[in-house]
Chain A
Amino acid sequence: MMDDMILKSFYSKSKMFLSAATIITILIFLPFIYPNLYILSFLITIFISTILAESFNIFSGYSGLVCLGYAAFYGIGAYASAILINSGISPFISFIISGVAGVALAAFIGSITLRLRSIYFVMVTFSFGEILREIFRNWKAVGGALGITLPPTYTYVAVYFVTLLTMLTCVVVTYKLEKSKIGLYLVAIRENEEAAEALGINVFKYRIIAFCLSCFFPSVTGGLYAWWMTYIDPPTVFSILVSLNAIIMTTFGGKGTWLGPILGTLILGTIGEILWANFPYAYLSIYAVALILIVLFLPEGLIKPLQAIISSASTDKK
């Protein structure tokens, strides 16, 4: 029995790497084989959504608390990068610095809010996003309501690859986290907080680690957004939609798994584009109804039924 399971995991790993490698190779060579900038822009937006969804998953999926404050980190990242790039610093370095700034902010916010119960945590994280937006809106030195413009130093291919790289890093980090000790502890905390504490797991410490990790990528992505769009202003980058879209994609795909958010983003992103292309005015209603129906039938996301199919298929063969 044990042998079977070990072998099973070995083979499943190799098959998984194979399929992942295929897809990644396609993605890497796509700009050269078919340099259609429309498709590239579409993929870039998909990558960005995936990063946000996966980041949301890193924290909420494994620790159970819902954070509505990703806008804060996305926005901070955008502003930090905008200011740094405008001062002449290379975009790539700016992104890393933005990421670090995001983590610092996350450490600060996390340390004061992570002891709260779930519904209060949601409200307080949401408020931080709004507070930052108001601060930046009133802060004339960084543009205030008028925002910041950047010089157009980007090329599509560069944006594509940087976003792709960030997304892959994010996914790999999530995957490693899931299989690691920290991941295990987080799942234990999520399933039963009191029991985990009784076992000697420092709930607070692991939550903070997960939180800071989950806020790194959105900050970097905010920087990417600023570089690509050449214009940012407070209402756009500190928008609640950043967090809400992440929640939708992740919940749909399946929280607590590394594959869930990717599937969720891909499928919902596709559905969204098709609906929007064909029903320009009413698509939001249709999308909303579709969302509600999907949630009703699959409240845990797509990944659980998928896993059920796979595991039942494999046990049958004995």
Chain B
Amino acid sequence: MIQLSLFLYGLITAGIYSLIALGFSLSSGTLHILNIAHGDFVMIGAYITYWLFTLYNVNPLLSIIFSFSASLIIAFFVDKLVINPLELKCKNIEEFHSVSVLVFFALSMLLQNMVFLLWGANYVGYTYLDTPILILGVPIAAIRLIIAIVAYLCAITLHLFLFETYTGTSIRAFSQNKERALLIGINVNRLRFIILGISVALAGIAGSLISALYAIFPAIGGSYLIRAMCIAALGGLGSMKGAIFGSIILGFSESFVTFYIGSGLQDLLAYSVLVLILLVKPSGLFAR
């Protein structure tokens, strides 16, 4: 029954990854910016939940609302104060790219330093609902199940948002053809904020969920960013279906490769897959 347990764990890991990757795919594929602070939004969400839980005993699932809002607020400021003016000032897309890398790197530094000043650099953590429940004979901690369910629910909500609401449809129009979207009268500025906001809000939610499982410290953003990049590129930047698919592939491969080959090569595998995809089919598996 090893395979079953590997399968289930892979699925749960994929759920968490998908939340982070969906956001990253959205911002990089639609807005064409490389948000290298994306992982730090995960970290912010984790710290907010940790803080609320240890100080005020707020249920981690409830504090998702707070991390969601915090991410939106930060995204608002970043968009209005920085991205907007930069987009207007830069002459071409390459310049905007290199400058945006810089800006998001600075944002990442800022977020990490702020958290460091508030909570110190030590690992912090808490325990919540870790009693194992048996699913098909495989013991899984209750919190992991809840996390997986919440993650997939969010993904479904995102899908509904993108396909059933007016704003969502405008986002998809915008991502397909920016000029034409402008022509039909879509408010591009507002849309840009919404896209960035959703993208990092998802990361914040993922962070809240993660804080119940792992010990957290200010620098955890990096490894999540890398995985988000791999998955988004695998699935195709901007493709939601691709991000989910990519998360599943990565989640499973990590489980199975670790078991059969050894965990030292996990990261190497992820990057190699990424490079391969980028070289063979850069637009990803689900290119639009």
Contacts and interface: CB of A to CB of B under 8 A. Distances in A.
B109 A284 contact: yes
Interface string B264-279: 1101100110110011
B229 A131 contact: no
Nearest to B230: A127
B107 A119 contact: no
B172 interface: no
Interface in A190-224: 190
Contact of A66 (B85, B97, B109, B113): B97
Nearest to B269: A134
Contact of B89 (A65, A292, A299): A299
B86 A131 contact: no
B128 to A, nearest CB: 31
A127 B278 contact: yes
A117 B32 CA distance: 12
The secondary-structure label for the interface of chain B is helix
A295 B99 contact: yes
A182 interface: no
B103 A295 contact: yes
B102 A123 contact: no
Given A292-B82, A296-B86, A119 B279 contact: no
A118 B279 CA distance: 13
Interface in A276-292: 281-282, 284-285, 287-289, 291-292
A123 B237 CA distance: 11
A281 B265 CA distance: 36
Interface residues of A, number: 43
Interface in A236-252: 244, 247-248, 251
Contacts of A292: 82, 103, 106-107
Nearest to B268: A134
Nearest to B237: A119
Nearest to A287: B109
Contacts of B265: 134, 138
B187 to A, nearest CB: 23
Given A66-B94, A119-B28, A299-B86, A244 B105 contact: yes
Contacts of A287: 106, 109
Interface string B133-159: 000000000000000000000000000
Interface string B200-237: 00000000000000000000000000100110010001
A281 B86 CA distance: 29
Nearest to B222: A240
A288 B85 CA distance: 18
B282 interface: yes
Nearest to A296: B85
Nearest to B232: A123
A146 interface: no
B186 interface: no
Nearest to B274: A127
B93 interface: yes
A135 interface: yes
A45 to B, nearest CB: 19
Contacts of A135: 268
Interface string B87-117: 0011001110111011101110110111011
Contacts of B32: 119
Contacts of B98: 60, 66, 247, 251, 255
B43 to A, nearest CB: 15
Contacts of A64: 94
B102 A248 contact: yes
A134 B102 contact: no
Those 5 A-B pairs whose CB atoms lie nearest each other, nearest first: A288-B110, A134-B268, A284-B113, A288-B106, A288-B109
Interface of A: 60, 64-66, 68, 112-113, 116-120, 122-124, 126-128, 130-131, 134-135, 137-138, 190, 244, 247-248, 251, 255, 281-282, 284-285, 287-289, 291-292, 295-296, 299-300
27 contacts: A65-B94, A66-B98, A68-B101, A116-B278, A118-B93, A119-B28, A119-B34, A119-B237, A122-B97, A123-B274, A126-B229, A130-B226, A130-B267, A131-B268, A137-B264, A138-B268, A190-B94, A248-B102, A255-B98, A285-B114, A287-B109, A288-B107, A291-B103, A292-B103, A295-B86, A299-B90, A299-B95
